[in-house]
Amino acid sequence: MSETYFTDYEDLEIHELMLKDRPRQKAYFDAITNNKHLFKDKIVIDVGAGTGILSALCAQAGARLVYAVEASNTAKIALDVIEENGLTSIVKVIHSRIEDFVLPASSEKADIIVSEWMGFYLLHESMLNSVLFARDNFLKEDGIMFPSECSIFVAPCSVPSLFDYWQLVDGVKMERFGEKLRLQKSKKPEIMQLNQHDLLHEGVILHWMSLLDINAEELNEIRFKEVLATQTAGDHQGFCIWFEVRFPDDSVLSTSPLAPETHWKQCVILLPQNACEKLEEKSPVAFQISMKRSANDDRKYDLEVELLDPNTEEHPVPCPCHMTKCILTEAHLKMMDTS
Amino acid sequence: MSETYFTDYEDLEIHELMLKDRPRQKAYFDAITNNKHLFKDKIVIDVGAGTGILSALCAQAGARLVYAVEASNTAKIALDVIEENGLTSIVKVIHSRIEDFVLPASSEKADIIVSEWMGFYLLHESMLNSVLFARDNFLKEDGIMFPSECSIFVAPCSVPSLFDYWQLVDGVKMERFGEKLRLQKSKKPEIMQLNQHDLLHEGVILHWMSLLDINAEELNEIRFKEVLATQTAGDHQGFCIWFEVRFPDDSVLSTSPLAPETHWKQCVILLPQNACEKLEEKSPVAFQISMKRSANDDRKYDLEVELLDPNTEEHPVPCPCHMTKCILTEAHLKMMDTS
């Protein structure tokens, strides 16, 4: 576990960025404030409390006791925030890693675990492990996770700002610069905001998990294989990955290109030049993707996408793609359906 | 002269940022393309050519010969760009610091020096020195500088995103966090985009220079003292500094909060909490500002602003501020004018 991970969060500008991320703030504010019945008189643990804002919201929503557990020195700021809001009798700021936290012997387990643990493409930073540790050790049998579910999505996409833009910049051809730029960026996933029109498909769920059930080992490696059919024509230049988290009241914080921009943006994996292709609507795109915890730094993941051959891969049945076998299958199914 | 300065520019993402800065690109494109008569058959030196885009524009505008002088390895990319646009017979990419550049013995001096040398608050990076070196050594007597003039502006301002925002974040008081954040940011000038409504004054020129006349020593230290009267009421929380450069056709690239956002944004110097003040319209603001080349790194500047006492400082005559002496002076002047 790297020491720098926690010292990074002592930089106030990271918290400034998160606290000014309006969709993030609004999602948590609404999920907590619109569900006061869940918080009334309850015990809450806020894992990785940061500046303590979620703990304060839980207290304001009626919680009886909130443990705001924060490993970095930001805990001092959380204490400021809790004092400033007159909540010290409810919120206990604990300057500790959650793994070193011990519930007072007199205390019951928590009714609710609240956390904003999501990193780029959901899993970057791997703070989720700490949340699951808290769940396994400090949550009651019938306790609630806030958020409670999350999904990672993937869709084939165009990336005009890294491809088309360089064809002609104010009348000057810059294709080779564009190529070199993409080469530089292809060494790591690119965090960038796509436009909804850049998606060639609305996206499929690459991975879904319930925070009540998942265990940490399942997160060591995620593999996903899919054949999908594009829903709009366009240049296939990469894969766009995003996530959403869902709260117990079914409200959602989404980082999709269709949702208002958040500081997470999206994660784009660029295709190499020779794999880029102009696709018609209903073109089959076959691929597999793996997200594997990095051997060097267990807070990071290695992302790999492999394009597969749609001619040899098995398609779903029915498949909306324009390949003859899928059109015939669909016709056959329809016939059977009406016979 | 630091080695890292040039290696930084080998990071293609810096060039990506600049090439996607539409106001920057448009200003140079228009100034060059709308003035082909200036470039027709002329010799041009592009100082710090980067990816070579300005050199390409000059060649396309009719220049006979362009020296694209670039010290960093980006010179290789410039060569790509020049080749890709079929301009190798006109644009000579020179991988060299301008200080080490030697005009071929057979060559005349240049008719035009083009450069995009501006840094944050204009002077950061101090690439201007290299442009002036080029002017002194390689420009004809009656040569043209592109851009030809520049001005630095300053105005008192509000900074709501660093002050007001923290009063209540989703119902949680975060004033102390705001204070700590401002303290952290006050250690260096903050590069940020202000809204035009944040300005308490349209701005005064802190420094003006003609690139034909200025000499490098004048840039070692700039001092400016002013008493101005606010033009709108508001919270005085800092000083906003921006610049504009002017081309020979009088077209302007402005980085003002009133102009479209550029990658330079503005430079904001925050006032300490106890110096912040709610001001009425026509309140006098007296201050002095110094921009002094840093002793440790001559590409950087130390910026200092000192608030002065408007009661003891001499005001301009006439002065639109609401102090009695200025109202009386103005009335007196009007009387004399009509008598």
Considering the domain architecture, whether residues B104 and B210 belong to the same structural domain is answered as no
Q: How do residues A127-170 score in pLDDT, each as one tens digit?
A: 999 999 999 999 999 999 999 999 999 999 999 999 999 999 99
**Using CA atoms, how far apart are residues B154 and B259, in angstroms rounded to an integer?**
15
- Kindly state whether residues B158 and B277 are assigned to the same domain: yes
DSSP B216: G
Q: Is residue B259 part of a domain?
A: yes
Q: Are residues B170 and B78 in the same domain?
A: no
Of A190, A75, A67, A234, the closest CA to residue A138 belongs to A67
Same-domain status, B189 and B300 = yes
**Contact residues, chain A, for B85 at CB < 8 Å:** 172-173
* Domain end residue (candidates: A90, A116, A142): A116
Closest residue of B to A170, CA-based?
A: B29
Are B112 and B167 part of one and the same domain?
A: no
The answer as to whether B121 is a domain residue is: no
* B301 shares a domain with B180: yes
β-strand B110-114 against B43-47: which pairing, if any? parallel
**Residue A76 in contact with partner chain B when CB distance is under 8 A:** no
**CB < 8 Å to B81, chain A:** 172-174, 176-177
In a domain, A155, yes or no: yes
* A116 included as an active-site residue: yes
- Domain endpoint, select from B96, B116, B136: B116
| A127 is a domain residue | no
Residues B36 and B185 in one domain: no
Q: What is the CATH number of the domain that holds B180?
A: 2.70.160.11
Would you give the DSSP letter of residue A179?
H
Residue contact B176–A80, C-beta within 8 A? yes
Q: Hey, is A185 helix, strand or coil?
A: helix
Q: Which residues of A touch B15 (CB under 8 A)?
A: 177
* Paired sense of beta strands A266-270 and A238-246, if any: antiparallel
Is A112 in the same domain as A155?
A: no
Q: What token pair was written down for B148?
A: 């030809």
In this prediction, residue B333 has a pLDDT band, given cuts at 50, 70 and 90, of confident
Q: What's the domain count of chain B?
A: 2
Strands ordered across the beta sheet of B284-293: B221-229, B284-293, B301-308
CB atoms within 10 A of CB A47: 26
Domain that holds residue B25: 2-116
Contact predicate A257/A244, CB 8 Å: no
Query: Of the candidates B77, B161, B172, which has its C-beta nearest A177's C-beta?
Result: B77
End of a domain among A73, A91, A116?
A116
Q: Are residues B172 and B29 in the same domain?
A: no
Q: Verify that A169 and A65 share a domain, yes or no.
A: no
B70, part of any domain? yes
**Same domain as A211, residue A110:** no
B77 to A176: CB separation less than 8 angstroms, yes or no: yes
Within a domain: residue A339?
no
Q: Is residue B321 part of a domain?
A: yes
Q: pLDDT tens digit string along A216-273?
A: 889 999 999 999 999 999 999 999 999 999 999 999 999 999 999 999 999 999 999 8
Q: Which CATH number do you get for residue B66?
A: 3.40.50.150
Write the pLDDT tens digit of every residue in A16-64: 999 999 999 999 999 999 999 999 999 999 999 999 999 999 999 999 9
Spatial contact of B109 and B138, defined as CB atoms under 8 Å apart:
yes
Q: Reply yes or no on whether the pLDDT at A109 is more than 60.
A: yes
pLDDT number for residue B4: 61
Mutation to test the A interface, candidates B9, B79, B84, B172, most A Cβ within 10 Å: B172
Contact with chain B for residue A84, Cβ under 8 A:
yes
Is B171's CB within 8 Å of A13's CB?
no
Mean pLDDT of B81-91: 98
Query: B186 burial class (0-12, 13-18, 19+ CB within 10 angstroms)?
Result: middle
B105 and B208 in a common domain: no
In a domain, A145, yes or no: no
d(CA B7, CA A245): 41
